[in-house]
Amino acid sequence: MTEAELSLFLEASVRLGIPLALAALGETISERSGVINIGLEGSIIAGALGGALGALAFGSAGLGVLTGAAAGMLVAAVFAAFAVGLGADQIITGTAVTLGGLGMTGAVYQARFGATGTELSLPTLQALPLPFLERIPLVGSALFAQAPTAYVAYVLAPMLWYWLFRTPAGLELRAVGEAPDAAKAAGVRVRRVRFLATLVGGVLAGVAGAHLALAHAGTFAENMSAGKGFIAIAVVVLGRWNPLLVLGAALFFGAASALQFFLQALGFDLPYQLFLALPYLLTLAALGGWVGRARAPAALAIPWESE
């Protein structure tokens, strides 16, 4: 492997890892509060369509990211209304929200652009190389010549870590995820914390979706989220609910996805469909190998009711 090939591979790894990182960082926050949002996939696809429509309407990819974030948050709000507000089962609610998100975006897209799916051409998020940093040998261009959304993920991971583990508000959030009754006794408003945490997760999933549409594809396609929401949830487990490790795990999965293009480019004659299955298989293997040592927030996925 030449150095040029290696740096291309690293660049692709980061590019593919960023949407996973954004969604997984958001999910880390909601899971730390005791809410597992399987509807993340729905927020991502809504973010992709919301981002595409916003970018078209305003003629700006940057504003598209904002509308994508809003769309992701809207979907998460539906999830939170049922899973937190009503205390309904989180897994089933999340599945419904994903189904609905995929269906709704498909319907809106077909209604607006026709069933044949005319190629949308969108204003795209251009790569924003950071001066000096991009010139670091090997990793510089991979890490620091990305779309601006990538830098959001880099900055967010340490910020969220600090917020979660070093501030009173972060402590409250974790308390809600570990022992909601005790948190309530200490005066924390459990439902409100969970609701807000879920919304934050939705915002970041929406940004991840907008990134897919605006920085990757430059277009929207039905089902373009392709299971990234589920992989992001696995990434949270691999990153042990720690934002810094979650960022690392997401980049690792970006590398796994980049590997498929890379091996193909190197002329390995493996069938394309098996390459497509590779990230999911790797996620399974990683869950099996690593999860034994990780510990989920104690109240994860358990609806909370005040008595």
Q: How far is the CB of 6 from another protein (least distance, A)?
A: 27
Closer residue to another protein, CB minimum distance, 133 or 270: 270
- Residue of 80, 72, 27, 89 whose CA lies nearest to 195: 80
Within 10 angstroms of residue 222's Cβ, the number of other Cβ atoms is 16
Binding region for another protein (CB under 8 A): 31, 36, 38, 78, 82, 86-93, 95-97, 99-111, 115, 222, 226-227, 230-231, 233-234, 236-237, 271-274, 276-277, 280-281, 283-284, 287-288, 291-292, 294-298, 300-303
Q: How far is the CB of 2 from another protein (least distance, A)?
A: 30
User: For residue 279, what are the CA distances in angstroms to 36, 48, 177, 283?
Assistant: 21, 21, 29, 6
Within 10 angstroms of residue 274's Cβ, the number of other Cβ atoms is 10
Closer residue to another protein, CB minimum distance, 3 or 269: 269
**Which amino acid is residue 149, in one-letter code?**
T
Closer residue to another protein, CB minimum distance, 57 or 277: 277
Closer residue to another protein, CB minimum distance, 133 or 298: 298
Q: How far is the CB of 146 from another protein (least distance, A)?
A: 26
d(CA 245, CA 242): 5
Q: How far is the CB of 140 from another protein (least distance, A)?
A: 34
Cβ neighbors of 247 (< 8 A, separation 6 or more) are 21, 25, 153, 154, 157, 239
Closer residue to another protein, CB minimum distance, 97 or 258: 97
CA–chain centroid gap for 155, Å, is 15
Q: How far is the CB of 68 from another protein (least distance, A)?
A: 19
